[in-house]
Amino acid sequence: MTIPITYYLLLSAVVFLTGVIGVLIRRNIIAILLSVELMLNATNINFVAFSRHLEDLGGQVFVFFALTVAAAEVAVGLAIIIALHRSKESINLEDFKLLKW
């Protein structure tokens, strides 16, 4: 007995919504980046489930590329956080309002 794809979609939707909530309500920049990782993983689960469902390896290749881009995003994002911390002595999001009007 195999699992219908709906369950995978449901799991992925729950994880993605958790990531959206995390991005919106956390104030720690590192926690926000972690929530972005949650959302990326939710889409990866979707890709792999559909790749199995449609018997097409393209989905798994796309997950591979998503992993590459996630690694690049993490490297640049953490470098930005280090630079911000060096200039403001803080990683709290509400301390960065230079572009706010």
Partner 1 sequence: MAQLVFGYFAGVIAVTAMLVVALKNPVYSVLSLLIMFFHVAGLYVTLHAEFLAAVQLIVYAGAILVLYLFVVMLLNAKQDDRYHRQWRAAGFVCVPLLLELLVLFAGGKMESSPPFPADQAGPGVDNAKAIGMTLFSTYLFPFEVASLILLVAMVGAIVLAKRDTGGGGHDAHKDNRLSP
Residues of this chain that interact with partner 1 (CB under 8 A) are: 1-7, 9-11, 13-15, 17-22, 24-28, 30-31, 33-35, 37-38, 41, 44-45, 48-49, 51-53, 55, 57-58, 60-61, 63-65, 67-76, 78-83, 85-86, 89, 91-94
Nearer to partner 1, 73 or 96 (CB): 73
Nearer to partner 1, 89 or 101 (CB): 89
**Is the Cβ–Cβ distance between 16 and 80 less than 8 Å?**
no
CA distance 50 to 66: 15
Side chain identity at residue 47, one-letter code:
F
**DSSP states of 1-14:** -PPPHHHHHHHHHH
